[in-house]
């Protein structure tokens, strides 16, 4: 029994570091290799799409992420059509039938999140400074790579495929990171897919060699290419029992630039001292100047030594007793209110 108890305590201690890491993942203050990054300006659900033609249908996988908080449930959407609570990165694959215009959700993949209470999986985030990466290409880039774990597909099966998201926040001083980035909206997702469906249907009707195009489509394509948040890939990586579904994203933003956190003042906070602080400083300097000047004057004029050097030294020396007497007088006054003025009933 005693050995079993020690085993449980040892298991708890071994699990503690991962729990602490998960709890302390704060997008307001990411610290790696002595550099701080504040990515709180990128909070909120954002979405990217991976659309591929799968004749006779069109497959649209929407990856929604919030790096600061778990994703919220969508109103009036069945629970089976969304990722479970605690998810930070979610992938939903929808098939659109081009023949009859119908759509259906084919797959819901929780990619990353904190699921310790549901299936024991932790987000277990890891951070890497791009400059310190082993890759030659990363050595010249500035930013931070964030790896978020915890996902599994199917979610409720221990034999499913583990999932993770690798997000590279790359320094771009000219971008906030929100340029042409789509929010989380089922309506927006449907509109985007329907627009792609219509474009494909129109293309099928065009004759070979017709290079005419829609300017609106070109504009949408330009905005997609210029988006700060970009989809890189989603595929199975690794070998044998170490295979995992890996989502790779790139996010260009000025908040991934080193020194950005230290140079910008925090929102809602002022770096200027208030009136009360200045009052205390001036009061302290005034008292100090009075004591120094008074002591110098007493020394040069009267040749004073010791306590006699200090201006009003007797008063300062008697101050504790004066305060004590003053306190007693206040207590006596307060207690006096409870008496009847010294008169007794006749």
Neighbouring CB atoms inside 10 A of 155's CB total 19
pLDDT in tens, 189-223: 444 445 555 555 455 545 444 444 455 556 566 66
Largest CA distance in the chain: 123
Full-model pTM: 0.64
Choose among 165, 171, 175: nearest CA to 131. 171
Distance between CA atoms of residues 19 and 114, nearest Å:
10
CB 86 within 8 A of CB 119: no
Whether pLDDT at 2 is above 80: no
Altogether, the residues listed in the chain come to a count of 346
Distance between CA atoms of residues 311 and 294, nearest Å:
5
As a whole number, mean pLDDT of residues 2-10 equals 43
Q: What is the model's pLDDT at position 146?
A: 96
For residue 187, give the DSSP letter: H
- Going along the chain from its start, the domains and CATH numbers come out as 21-206+216-263 (2.70.130.10), 276-333 (no CATH)
Chain-wide mean pLDDT for the chain? 79
Alpha helices per DSSP H over the chain: 2-23, 186-205, 215-225, 260-263, 275-302, 313-317, 319-336
End-to-end CA distance of the chain: 80
Distance between CA atoms of residues 228 and 279, nearest Å:
48
């Amino acid at each position: 029994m005693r050995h079993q108890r020690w085993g449980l305590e040892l298991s708890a201690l071994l699990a503690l570091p991962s729990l602490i890491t998960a709890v302390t993942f704060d997008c307001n203050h990411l610290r790696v290799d002595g550099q701080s990054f504040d990515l709180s300006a990128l909070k909120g659900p954002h979405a990217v799409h991976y659309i591929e033609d799968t004749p006779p249908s069109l497959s649209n996988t929407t990856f929604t992420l919030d790096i600061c908080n778990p994703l919220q449930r969508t109103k009036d959407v069945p629970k089976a059509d969304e990722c479970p609570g605690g998810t930070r990165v979610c992938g939903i694959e929808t098939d659109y039938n081009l023949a009859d215009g119908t759509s259906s959700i084919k797959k819901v993949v929780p990619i990353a999140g904190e699921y310790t209470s549901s299936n024991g999986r932790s987000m277990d985030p890891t951070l890497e400074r791009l400059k310190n990466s082993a890759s030659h290409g990363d050595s010249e880039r500035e930013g931070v790579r964030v790896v978020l774990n915890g996902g599994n597909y199917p979610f409720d099966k221990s034999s499913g495929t583990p999932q993770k998201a690798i997000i590279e926040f790359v320094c771009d001083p000219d971008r906030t990171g929100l340029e042409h980035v789509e929010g989380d909206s089922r309506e927006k997702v449907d509109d985007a897919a329907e627009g792609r469906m219509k474009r494909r249907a129109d293309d099928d009707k065009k004759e070979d060699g017709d290079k005419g195009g829609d300017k609106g489509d070109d504009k949408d394509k330009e905005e997609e290419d210029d988006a700060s948040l970009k989809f890189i890939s989603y595929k199975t990586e690794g070998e044998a029992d170490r295979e995992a579904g890996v989502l790779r994203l790139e996010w260009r933003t000025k908040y991934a630039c080193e020194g950005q956190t230290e140079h910008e003042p925090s929102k809602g906070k002022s770096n200027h001292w208030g009136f009360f602080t200045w009052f205390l400083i001036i009061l302290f300097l005034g008292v100090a100047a009075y004591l120094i000047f008074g002591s110098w004057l007493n020394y040069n004029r009267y040749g004073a030594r010791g306590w006699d050097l200090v201006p009003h030294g007797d008063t300062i020396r008697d101050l504790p007793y004066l305060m004590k007497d003053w306190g007693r007088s206040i207590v006596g006054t307060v207690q006096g209110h409870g008496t009847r003025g010294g008169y007794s009933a006749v």
